[in-house]
Amino acid sequence: MSLLQVEGLTKTFAGLTAVDSVDIAVADRVFLGIIGPNGAGKTTLFSLLAGSQPPTAGRVVFDDVDITGWSAQKVARAGLVRTFQLMRPFESMSVLENVTIASLAQRSRKDARRHALGVLERVQLAQYAGTSSGSLPTAGLKRLELARALAMEPRMILLDEVLAGLVPAERAPMIELLRELHGDGLTVMFVEHIMAAVMALSERLVVMHDGRVLTQGVPAEVIAEPQVVEAYLGEDY
Amino acid sequence: MTSTTTQGEGPTRFVRVGRHPTTVVSVTVVLLLAAVFAVGGKDNGLVTQSIVTGLLLGGVYALVSIGLTLIFGVLGVVNFAQGSMLTMSMYVVYALVSGPGLPVYLATLLAIPVMFAFGMFVQHFLLNRLTSTGSHEGPLLVTLGLQLLIANVLLMIFSGRPKSVGTPFDGSFEMLGAIASYSRVIAFAGAVLVGIALTLVLRRTSLGLSIRAVAANAQGAALVGVNVRRVYALTFGIGAASVAVAGGLMTPFTSLTPSVGEQFTILAFVIVVLGGLGSVLGATIGGLVIGLVQTVGALYLPGTGSLILVFAVFVMVLFLRPQGLYGAK
Amino acid sequence: MTDTTARPAAAHELPAADDPRLKDTWARRQLLVLVAGVAVLSTLPLFLGEQAQSVAIRTLIFAIMAVGWNLMSGFGGMFSFGHAAFFGIGAYTGAYLLVDHGISPWISMVVAAVLSAAVGVAIAYLCLRYKLAGSYFALATFAFAQMFLLIVQNVDALHKTEGFNVEILPSDSWSMLQFQQGDPLYFWIPLAILAAAVLVSILYVRSRAGQYAQAVRDDEVAASSLGINTMRARLIAVALSCGVTAVAGVYYTQYYFFVGPEQAFGSAVSVEAIVPAVIGGIGTIWGPVIGAMVVGPLSELVATVLRNPPGFLSFLQGTSGLDVAVYATLLIVIVIVMPKGIFGTIRDRWRS
Amino acid sequence: MKKIASVMTALVVAGGLAACSGSDGGGSSESGTVTIGSIHPTSGALAGVGGLMDDGAKLAVDDINAAGGIKALDGAKLKLSSGDSQGKAEVGQSEAQRLIADGAVALVGTYQSDVTQNVAAVAERGRVPFVIDVAVDDKILQQGYKYAFRVQPDATSMGTSGAQSLAKIGQDSGTPITSVAYLHIEGAFGDSVFKAFEAEAAAQGITSVKEITYPATNFSDATTQVREAAAAKPDVIVATGYYPDGVLIAKAVSELKPDIQGLYGIANGAFDDGSFPAASGESGQNVLSANYHYDANDERVADIRTRFEAKYGKPMETASILSYQAVEVVAAGLEKSGSDDPEKLREAIAGISIDDPLLAFDGPITFDERGQNENATVIVMQVQGDNVEQVFPQEFSTKDLVFPATAAR
């Protein structure tokens, strides 16, 4: 049985179809990668799943509950949490406070702070706990995005290009961290351009093109399909 | 500190004024006025008079608002000194009329460069640092202080006794059964002229292009080589210069006191939002509409009743069409 | 699989409960400052003459308004330009209940705070529902305050433009909050209200609701993706803000014995709530208080200096308008030199 | 930057201390001086008239001192302490407290009704007599205050005597007036003058056929309102309001040329102001105004006005004369009580009778139990040429009344 079931999900903006009848099923504890060229509709898909935008048509079922059209905050509280490609820290707050905000969803203020510090340790950001979040470097902000999402204690997490903007030396530890989190039982859907990471982490792979799902399946098989190579991989693989 | 996302998506699209706001507005206004004639239960001569008065008053409002729409639209500054700048230009005209004895309309022409320089000065020395940080409470407070300063410096120089300025065109004439005074008709014509002139400047000149570029996206404009600070200062200057025209044309029918202009500030904001930020045409039409609402409305809601109506219109516009009649989305 | 509380990803070690990094002494320090500040200020009536005390009381009323305004506009990020509406609701509730129904102002404070919070929430809900932000939000609140002013001027039950006079009682009365002119209680009571307002700010800022409101202010989209009900977080800030401001209004009527539409709902009142907060530092606990302490006496101070000017300025004596002009100039200079406010600027220097 | 910040802070703190200590310094113990507080809006929108009134009070003090001070107090000199209400009620209140704390034995002021309400409350609680020079609202003296006195007529009595004068003018000139349209400013002032007028006019056989109110702010064209008034075909248009709206109404009347016998102001801030003839030009000609006014036939008034204009360079309007008069009331109270104790001064003022008022009143200035000057009333003035002339009643007239008062067109 699937943790997340997407059926016929569609979003049109002023006549332009950004996401077109997408069907995806994500089983519990699966690491699912989504790839596709720019403009394929990946980020819009995330926005629809996370409730940031309402879909034009289709259905999203999460944990047996129909969450179609739910607001972002309700989706997040249901256990499906996203991160942003462009980092959005709460700049007036310290790193620890940023994460505490998320921890508060589940617990009292006092416990939340302790819990948040635990999360920061988990993502190796604890030494910056007291720093102002605005002054973190990119790699730190990426981890902060991740930490905030984790502090929500989600069933499933939607990661939007969590490796983008990192120098190669910073990528390996992040990949390792994601692998560990997955190993702990987290279901992950992630959009990524760095193919090495996609291939290293994904258990299943979805290829999007022009708002549609081009194909999906086991990564090694998917990327071998000629249409995929034609549509996307020709560019930089 | 606040998120700068204004509006755009969501429930703001109910009112589709569409591509022809002028047609929509004028049809609506004509229909409403026709209704007043037909079923309003008022003497027709009186209604005609209120419409003529309302349009002439609207011309005055338009003049004051045209300057503000640029300042608010391009710089994002909530300029609370707009009314005081109006007062200031009236006193400049008064000084030129009572001192050297110039005719009032010539004095108005001379007041334009004076106020233009004053506007440049204010933006360059008082506001630039604050506008560049993107905060709006800083400029708001500075203009608030400026309003106090202008009013009280005028008080120190001219004392608070009411002053008046004569006009060579005293008197009035009849038009469609309604009375209109020459000086108000001249002010109305001035509003139209300033409106056309500024629209041409914005559409046809390279300065206008820079102003529109900065209004749309200051950072982007800077990237393509526009000197944003200079454009800001020039815009404030132009805004102040059009206020100078307003002040000059209004002196013949206004009792001058150091705080006479302040009452126009709030109405000007209503008009600017109604017309759409940065839209000269919008400010002109908005001024006329508010003038009509106030004057025709006063037939049914005397006293401050018509002002409540004006604010109700304002809030409705903010909610349903925050980009205003002519605002770009 | 339907047990949504089982969330495997939380698997991480909790740090020790007494981990030094968890220590948060902020609230405690603020409370200490508050207690010390109140202790020092409460001795002021011993030194102040009657007029200086009346200026100090006006300053306290400004400070309460500014602290209230700051809750919504500073911590909540919604710039209100219409706090006169909420101050006015307070002033008129107090006046109406006292003058027409003989109800004690202490009760009015509660009634006014609740009423004002409800009205504020309704207005803010409409503005947020239609996605007004920044200057647009400010102008909308301003328009509402103006409408309130105009409506009050037209309502018979509220005495139209006449306003309310509070009856002068023959003797002191705690329940009616009336004492001899110049009684230090007139200073201590608003000081206590201000202390309570600051206490509310401190507790609110650290509370769940306050943290959420600040997160929404910083980034609404990110906040909602973390499960925060952004509308509710904002409306709580608005409710607190309007409630605090209304209490200042009730006290105003009580102290000044008269309130009319302009004193309660005039646009100058909105400005009086904003100026101290901006001068002192928006979005800080102490900014509004410090700002009020500077702005409140400033115009008085300038007037005093100019009334008996030092020799080299004697030619200025008696020029009407000069005191306000100087005050306006100082205001402009402070805003330009310290764009983050006195407290905000000093704090930033301290940190760096 | 840091330096500037700390210097500013230091300045502010130092200044604050100076202000605190400064305000205690005054004291009433200075022997041989008696302090009177004067509170007027000398800055803000009403600064023009506020400044005139403050100067009027100053001139009164100077004149009294030049004539030997307060004789009952061994020639003690008067000292005027001025306060600026800025037109705001709460500022007026703290200025009143400052002046009382500085030892003022009486206050005069304040021009605006709302500021006056606040100052009256302070005076009552501080037990210091407060002589109101100008402030029209009936309500001020309806609070049962013992320390407040008013020299000028209140709104109701102006409406009443305005109606009586209008009826008499009609009868005397042989053109009886049976109907009026009434334009007045919104708010307590306009409302109460109108209500009193309407009631008295009905008793005199004049019907008020139309009442039109206009707002106090954002009123910059009166054409529609005047046309609406004219549409009711009244014999006379009556107007009550302040200066700028009064000018607008006069101009609109002259432009619309309605078939009326005159424009008649009651308690109108414009029609008998010295600057009105110039501001209104042709349209002001023959406009009538029923208002409290200085007595232009009185030699003492003429002398005071001449010296005022010489000293301050501006004409002394009625409001300014009232401030002068208010100071004289206080001085007379001091002479009568022979004491600078405020409570004794209050007793004296309550029982005072000033037989040669500077204003065109019905008799001496005496206060009833509310503190209202019983003989305060209005006279009728008319713009003739460049001047405002007193035309009615006969005993005060400086020029003959022109009625029907249609402008020379």
Q: What is the pLDDT of residues A140-197, one digit of tens each?
A: 999 999 999 999 999 999 999 889 888 888 999 999 999 999 998 899 999 988 888 9
**D114 to chain C: nearest residue by CA?**
C260
Q: Does any domain span residue A85?
A: no
Q: Which CATH class is domain D156-291+379-396?
A: alpha beta
> In the predicted model, what is the mean pLDDT of chain A?
90
Please tell me the total count of domains within chain A: 2
Pair D139, D325: CB distance under 8 Å: no
The answer to whether A66 faces chain C, any CB pair under 8 Å, is: no
At residue C31, the pLDDT reads: 95
Which residue type does A39 have? G
The answer to whether C157 faces chain A, any CB pair under 8 Å, is: no
> In the predicted model, what is the mean pLDDT of chain D?
88
Mean per-residue pLDDT, D212-241: 91
* Domain match, A39 and A111 both: no
Best of C14, C217, C226 to disrupt the A interface (most A CBs within 10 Å) is C226
Quickly state the pLDDT bin for A233 (edges 50, 70, 90): low
The answer to whether D126 faces chain C, any CB pair under 8 Å, is: yes
At residue B290, the pLDDT reads: 92
How many angstroms separate the Cα of D275 from the Cα of each of C128, D146, D320? 51, 37, 14
Evaluate the CA torsion angle D222, D228, D233, D236 in order and state its sign: negative
Q: What is the pLDDT of residues B61-79, one digit of tens each?
A: 998 999 999 998 888 888 9
**B159 to chain D: nearest residue by CA?**
D48
Report the Cα C292 to chain-centroid distance in Å: 10
In CATH, the architecture of B46-320 is Orthogonal Bundle (1.10)
- Picking from A104, A123, A153, the residue at the C-terminal end of a domain is A153
- Interstrand relation of D179-185 and D236-240 (parallel, antiparallel or unpaired): parallel
Best of A26, A74, A101, A142 to disrupt the C interface (most C CBs within 10 Å) is A101
The Cα C142–Cα C10 span in angstroms is: 47
Q: What is the pLDDT of residues A215-227, one digit of tens each?
A: 899 998 888 888 8
Identify all chain C residues contacting D187, using CB atoms and an 8 Å cutoff.
Answer: 153, 160-161
Contacts of D221 (CB under 8 A, 6+ apart): B53, B56, B57, B184, B253, B295, D248, D252
The answer to whether C212 faces chain A, any CB pair under 8 Å, is: yes
Which segments within D41-144 are labelled E, that is strand? 77-84, 104-109, 130-132
The Cα B116–Cα C191 span in angstroms is: 47
Which segments within chain A are labelled E, that is strand? 2-13, 16-27, 31-35, 57-62, 65-66, 80-82, 156-160, 187-191, 204-209, 212-217
* Domain match, A166 and A56 both: yes
**C206 to chain A: nearest residue by CA?**
A109
Torsion angles phi and psi, residue D217, rounded to 5: -115, 165
In this structure, of B110-114, B290-294, D197-201, D233-237, the range with the lowest mean pLDDT score is B290-294
Give mean pLDDT in consecutive 10-residue pieces for chain C, a chain of 352 residues. Answer: 45 78 88 96 88 88 96 94 96 96 96 98 94 86 93 88 87 91 92 97 95 94 93 97 97 92 91 91 94 88 78 68 84 88 87 74
Residue C302 burial (CB count, 10 A): 21
Identify the CA nearest to C223 among candidates A71, D292, A66.
A71
Q: Report CB contact under 8 Å: D97, C337.
A: no
Q: Does any domain span residue A84?
A: no
Torsion angles phi and psi, residue B4, rounded to 5: -90, 5
Tokens standing for residue B300: 């049914």
Tokens standing for residue C118: 């409800």
**B121 pLDDT higher than 70:** yes
At residue B76, the pLDDT reads: 83
Contacts of C12 (CB under 8 A, 6+ apart): A118, A119, A121, A122
Q: Report CB contact under 8 Å: A63, C1.
A: yes
Quickly state the pLDDT bin for B31 (edges 50, 70, 90): confident
Pair C86, C120: CB distance under 8 Å: yes
Whole-angstrom distance between the N-terminal and C-terminal Cα of chain D? 67
* Structural domain boundaries in chain C: 28-264
Q: Report CB contact under 8 Å: B4, C143.
A: no
At residue D233, the pLDDT reads: 93
Identify all chain C residues contacting B138, using CB atoms and an 8 Å cutoff.
Answer: 278, 335-336, 339
**Shortest Cα distance from C48 to chain D (angstroms)?**
6
Q: Report CB contact under 8 Å: C346, D125.
A: no
ipTM summary value: 0.86
Best of D11, D21, D40, D43 to disrupt the C interface (most C CBs within 10 Å) is D43
The Cα D395–Cα D351 span in angstroms is: 27
The Cα C346–Cα C351 span in angstroms is: 9
Q: Report CB contact under 8 Å: C211, A101.
A: yes
The Cα A48–Cα A44 span in angstroms is: 6
The Cα D205–Cα D207 span in angstroms is: 6
Chain A touching partners, 3 or more CB pairs below 8 A: C
**D29 pLDDT higher than 60:** no
The answer to whether B4 faces chain C, any CB pair under 8 Å, is: yes
B312: three-class secondary structure by DSSP: helix
The Cα A78–Cα A64 span in angstroms is: 11
- Interstrand relation of A57-62 and A204-209 (parallel, antiparallel or unpaired): unpaired
Pair C88, C243: CB distance under 8 Å: no
**C54 to chain D: nearest residue by CA?**
D94
- Picking from A119, A153, A187, the residue at the C-terminal end of a domain is A153
**B16 pLDDT higher than 70:** no
Which residue type does D368 have? D
Mean per-residue pLDDT, D365-378: 95
B218: three-class secondary structure by DSSP: helix
**Shortest Cα distance from C144 to chain B (angstroms)?**
8
* Domain match, A176 and A147 both: no
How many angstroms separate the Cα of A150 from the Cα of each of A33, A153, A156, C219, D398? 18, 5, 9, 18, 92
User: D208: which strand partners?
Assistant: D180
Identify the CA nearest to D45 among candidates C268, C288, A16.
C268
Residue A54 burial (CB count, 10 A): 12
Q: Report CB contact under 8 Å: C1, A102.
A: no
At residue C136, the pLDDT reads: 85
The angle formed by the CA atoms of residues C111, C115 and C119, to the nearest 5 degrees, is: 170
Tokens standing for residue B275: 């017309």
The answer to whether B2 faces chain C, any CB pair under 8 Å, is: yes
Q: What is the pLDDT of residues B253-265, one digit of tens each?
A: 999 999 899 889 8
Quickly state the pLDDT bin for A44 (edges 50, 70, 90): very high
Identify all chain C residues contacting D97, using CB atoms and an 8 Å cutoff.
Answer: 50-51, 53-54, 181-182
How many angstroms separate the Cα of C320 from the Cα of each of B38, C228, D63? 54, 54, 22
Residue A67's domain is classified under what CATH number?
3.40.50.300
Tokens standing for residue C290: 């410090």
**Shortest Cα distance from C327 to chain D (angstroms)?**
12
In this structure, of B268-282, C111-125, C202-216, D16-30, the range with the lowest mean pLDDT score is D16-30
Evaluate the CA torsion angle D335, D340, D345, D348 in order and state its sign: negative
Pair D163, D206: CB distance under 8 Å: yes
In this structure, of A46-55, B217-226, D164-173, D239-248, the range with the lowest mean pLDDT score is B217-226
**B10 pLDDT higher than 60:** no
**Shortest Cα distance from A52 to chain C (angstroms)?**
8
Q: Does any domain span residue A164?
A: yes
Q: Do chains C and D touch (3 or more CB pairs under 8 A)?
A: yes
The answer to whether B47 faces chain C, any CB pair under 8 Å, is: no
- H or E stretch at B291: helix B280-300
Q: Report CB contact under 8 Å: B161, D48.
A: yes
- Regarding the domain delimited by D28-153+297-350, which CATH topology (the fold level of the hierarchy) does it fall under? Rossmann fold (3.40.50)
The answer to whether D8 faces chain C, any CB pair under 8 Å, is: yes
Is 0.95 topped by the overall pTM? no
Q: Report CB contact under 8 Å: C225, A50.
A: yes
Evaluate the CA torsion angle C193, C195, C201, C204 in order and state its sign: negative
- Listed by number, the residues of chain D in 66-125 with a beta carbon closer than 8 Å to a beta carbon of chain C are 84, 86, 88-90, 93-95, 97-102, 114, 117-118, 121-122, 124-125
**Shortest Cα distance from C299 to chain A (angstroms)?**
33
Chain B touching partners, 3 or more CB pairs below 8 A: C, D
- H or E stretch at C165: strand C164-165
- Looking at the partner chain, which of D218, D221, D281 has a beta carbon nearest the beta carbon of B170? D281
The Cα A103–Cα A95 span in angstroms is: 13
In this structure, of A24-38, A171-185, B154-168, D351-365, the range with the lowest mean pLDDT score is B154-168
Torsion angles phi and psi, residue A52, rounded to 5: -65, -30
Q: Do chains B and C touch (3 or more CB pairs under 8 A)?
A: yes
**A57 pLDDT higher than 80:** yes
Q: Report CB contact under 8 Å: A79, C4.
A: yes
Domain that holds residue A170: 2-79+154-236
**C171 to chain D: nearest residue by CA?**
D125
- H or E stretch at D407: none
* Structural domain boundaries in chain B: 46-320
Q: Does any domain span residue A215?
A: yes
The answer to whether A143 faces chain C, any CB pair under 8 Å, is: no
Which residue type does C12 have? H
